[in-house]
Amino acid sequence: MRRIVLLLALNLLAGLPTARAAWYEREEAIMGTRVAVQLWCDDSVLAVNAIDAVMADMHRTDDLMSTYKPESELSQVNAHAFERPVQVDADIIDVVTRSLEYSRISNGAFDITYASVGYLYDYRAHQHPTDAQIKAALPGVDYRHLEVDPVARTIRFLKPGMRIDLGGIAKGWAVDRGVEILRHMGIEHAMVNAGGDTALLGDRLGKPWVVGIRDPRKQGAVVARIPLQDEAISTSGDYERYFEEDGKRYHHILVPGTGKSPDAVRSVTVVGANATRTDGLTKTVFILGVERGMEFVHKLGDVEAVIVDRDGQIFYSAGLQPPQ
């Protein structure tokens, strides 16, 4: 359901000038999550058109990359890429190529072929695969057996049983595109959010945007607030898609080498220059855990992180250490 705040509808109906600076906001359900756009603009028509453009692009990304839509290009890849190279849109090539980059720099901690096992989980139905099913599917999990031809725009699987899922990076990528669309339309102050991924354009009229990090175990509570401008922030947690059985939490983040959910961390937040990077890195750090994850963040040098471990203890990277 679309919602516009401060639309100035009376001015439009009366044919009066639409120039009046105000905040405009809309939310829609896209890509299986809540997508929100908020921007500052002095023209209500431009504001509405700008938000329309972002939402339309989000829908396009969902149509291309959803694994829940059998007709999507990504679903066609999963159905046929072992039989033959499958030609796809350039945007899918871009997202897959970036995914492979994160796989390489993380030594496989981030791996979109995790879906070769991941598809066996049904979080709504509270179903998980047996150890035997996981063992049978694990040979399909290896980004090195994913062949991408950027010139021909094709994707090919080199092993049977392989699947890919872009859910760990596509939302951040779509959020970055949304910000670029707004920038090109002349918007200078905006926020684009898709689930746990947020990209910020400019500041909030002379003040920073303040983004809260959710408490992984207390809905509505936050564990930290971070002031940002012209940056991106992503959070991944074990509370997003999960179920519990016999005291164990099965959630959507899986270790590529085991096909099972790690339990050392509750949530990871990464701050960086763009949401594609922060989105991909939250899963990477989550899988690596506190010690190795922070070492990885410090080695990269261009992002910061906040980790909440299994006991609720909070760890900050060097650039986000709160004052003592």
Mean residue pLDDT of the chain comes to 93
- pLDDT of residue 2 exceeding 50, the answer is no
- pLDDT of residue 324 exceeding 90, the answer is no
Report the pLDDT averaged over residues 295-315: 97
pLDDT tens per residue, range 26-59: 999 999 999 999 999 999 999 999 999 999 999 9
Q: What is the 3-state secondary structure (H, E, C) of the chain?
A: CCCCCCCCHHHHHHCCCCEEEEEEEEEEEECCEEEEEEEEEEEHHHHHHHHHHHHHHHHHHHHHHCCCCCCCHHHHHHHHCCCCCEECCHHHHHHHHHHHHHHHHCCCCCCHHHHHHHCCCECCCCECCCHHHHHHHHHHCCHHHEEEECCCCEEEECCCCCCCCCCCCHHHHHHHHHHHHHHHCCCCCEEEEECCEEEEECCCCCCCEEEEEECCCCCCCEEEEEEECCCEEEEEECCCCEEEECCEEEECCCCCCCCCCCCCEEEEEEEECCHHHHHHHHHHHHHHCHHHHHHHHHHHCCCEEEEEECCCCEEECHHHCCCC
pLDDT tens per residue, range 196-215: 999 999 999 999 999 999 99
* Residue 323: band (very low, low, confident or very high) from pLDDT cuts 50, 70, 90: low
* Residue 189: band (very low, low, confident or very high) from pLDDT cuts 50, 70, 90: very high
Distance of CA 246 to the CA centre of its chain: 30
pLDDT tens per residue, range 247-260: 999 999 999 999 99
- pLDDT of residue 17 exceeding 60, the answer is no
Report the pLDDT averaged over residues 8-25: 59
Residue 5: what pLDDT? 41
Report the pLDDT averaged over residues 2-21: 46
Residue 6: what pLDDT? 40
Question: Which percentage of the chain shows pLDDT scores above 90?
Answer: 91
Report the pLDDT averaged over residues 217-245: 95
- pLDDT of residue 297 exceeding 60, the answer is yes
Report the pLDDT averaged over residues 70-99: 98
CA atoms of 66 and 181, how far apart (whole Å): 21
With beta carbons less than 8 A apart as the criterion, state whether 112 and 168 touch: yes
Give the alpha-carbon dihedral of 182, 168, 295, 177, to 10 degrees: -10
Residue 12: what pLDDT? 39
Domains of the chain listed by start with CATH number: 66-157 (1.10.3980.10)
- pLDDT of residue 83 exceeding 90, the answer is yes
Residue 11: what pLDDT? 42
* Residue 8: band (very low, low, confident or very high) from pLDDT cuts 50, 70, 90: very low
